Amino acid sequence: NSQSQDANSLIAGLRQITVLTAFSKIISLFEQKKMEDKDKKRGPNYTEKKINSKICMAR
């Protein structure tokens, strides 16, 4: 019985971690979208420059 309790608490812990991970991913996606919207307001040239600099950093 104690084994099944351990398994249950492990599953509960994993579930919590999964929820937190999903939540933080959603937040970071939301922040990214917000930044992209800001860039769009500034104009297409700015967005292109930003993308190019990201590509350069990736290399």
Q: How far is CA 56 from the centre of its chain?
A: 22
Q: What tens digit of pLDDT does each residue of 6-38 get?
A: 999 999 999 999 999 999 999 999 999 888 888
pTM listed for this prediction:
0.47
Look at residue 47 and tell me whether its pLDDT is greater than 90. no
Give me the pLDDT at residue 2, please. Answer: 81
In whole angstroms, what is the distance from residue 29 CA to residue 39 CA? 15
Give me the pLDDT at residue 59, please. Answer: 63
Number of domains in the chain: 1
Structural domain including 34 reads 2-58
Cα distances from 22 to residues 8, 31, 32, in angstroms, run 21, 14, 15
